[in-house]
Amino acid sequence: MKIVAVLYPCPEDPTTVDSRDGAPQQLLGCADNALGLQDFVEGQGHELVVTTDREGGELEENLGDAEVLITTPFWPVYVTREMMDRAPNLKLMLLAGVGSDNMDLAAAADKNITIAEQTGSNITSVAEHSVMQILTLVRNYMPAYKDVVNGGWNIGEIARRSHDLEDKTVGLVGMGRIGQKTAMRLRPFDVRMLYYDVTKLNTIDEYTLGLRYADIDDMIPLCDVISIHAPLTPVTRSLFNRERLFDMKRGAHIVNTARGAIVDRDALVEALEEGHLGGYAGDVWDSQPAPSDHPWRTMPNHAMTPHVSGTSLEAQARYAEGVRRCLQAYFNGEPIDRDRIIVEGGEIMSLSYKYAYEEA
């Protein structure tokens, strides 16, 4: 069996900082380390081809007779129906991470290809990144940092846009595992939290997390900060269009660690350039890797990062182990853990994707 894994290039120096207990950690997610799978796969009598090519090249050469494709949200292969047509042996696609929107789920269902992702592998990592970026915007950290680097000491210029997070209203869009973990991390800051999701939490969970439900269009004008944690589906694409962006409070902030295309690219740039929004941060883009001329790289008052929130060293260890478990089950002819399954048996199984595709 041939397995193709598409992973991001390793840095020149892949050395990592040892963990607190002194045990060395590996940059498992890069191509040279291959999620730690090379010996495991070969030991099972199978072939693992690892490439950084996201299209053409080695990917095209090997996908034609591959049975399994492994990709990530951070260096994604955009698996279209046409690409699946050119891979007649493909039976399983594994996402080393969470969020399978880079794959045509309907086409995979039509072709009876199973898709599984590593549910829960990066909940903490993304939630922490979200809170960090909220504070980065609210406290006006980026201009302060740049001021120091450039030799300045412009206290007034920085302080005039710096606020406490305490007593602010934060809206959370999407209340899955990451949304809930973000709410847990935010609660000690004594903020008012509203949330929107297609499915409401029960009353006990709302009380425990300190949340109050609101319709998205009722919530948007009330929030000082909005943090997005929804999956990208046909329904959520451009959920934050120009109308909703300009319905936000003047000076409000958005953090998006979900998917870039949930926010209208050009309308966001307009809202920031006109000074309607106070800032935007996130680490997801509407195409990845983002081209060098992507307007979000140069728009004002942003704190963007490449897609790194869910790939801390600890998260890499979790999603690498999740991929290994999926492969072991597949090799043994056993079912993959149900909570990892997105598409199986000709159906979209994940409810968050299933309902969105049906509605669309």
Q: What are phi and psi of 5, to 5 degrees?
A: -115, 130
Q: What is the CATH number of domain 2-121+311-351?
A: 3.40.50.720
Return the active site residues.
Answer: 122, 259, 288, 307
Does 123-304 match 2-121+311-351 at the fold level?
A: yes
Residue 13 confidence class, pLDDT cut points 50, 70, 90: confident
CA distance 102 to 17: 31
pLDDT above 90 (res 8) = yes
Give the CA radius of gyration of the chain.
21
Mean pLDDT lowest among 150-164, 291-305, 343-357: 343-357
**What is the distance between the alpha carbons of residues 258 and 13, in angstroms, rounded to a whole number?**
29
Classify residue 233 as left (phi > 0), alpha (psi -120 to 50) or beta: beta
Could you tell me the two tokens for 190? 């004594």
Average pLDDT, the chain: 95
The answer to whether 50 and 75 are in contact (CB under 8 A) is no
Q: Coil, helix or strand for 207? A: helix
Judge contact between 101 and 348, C-beta under 8 A: no
Taking residues 286-309, what's their average pLDDT? 96
Which residues lie below 8 Å from residue 222, measured CB to CB, with a gap of 6+?
A: 169, 171, 194, 214, 249
147 sits in the region (left: phi over 0; alpha: psi -120 to 50; else beta) called alpha
Report which of 147, 132, 151 is spatially closest to residue 303, judged by C-alpha positions.
Answer: 132
Q: Residue 14: pLDDT band by 50, 70, 90 thresholds? A: confident
359 pLDDT tier (thresholds 50, 70, 90):
low
pLDDT-derived band at 15, boundaries 50, 70, 90: confident
Name which of 118, 20, 102 is nearest 320 in CA terms: 118
Interval 184-212: pLDDT, tens: 999 999 999 999 999 999 999 999 999 99
Contacting residues for 183 by C-beta, under 8 A, at least 6 apart: 172, 175, 193, 195, 209, 210, 211
CATH architecture of residue range(s) 123-304: 3-Layer(aba) Sandwich (3.40)
Is the link from the previous residue into 289 a cis peptide, with omega within 30 of 0? yes
Domains of the chain, residue spans: 2-121+311-351, 123-304
Q: What's the DSSP call for residue 240?
A: B
Report the predicted TM-score, pTM, of the whole model to 2 decimal places: 0.93
pLDDT band at 25 (very low <50, low <70, confident <90, very high): confident
Q: What is the pLDDT of residue 22?
A: 61
Whether 342 has a pLDDT exceeding 80, the answer reads yes
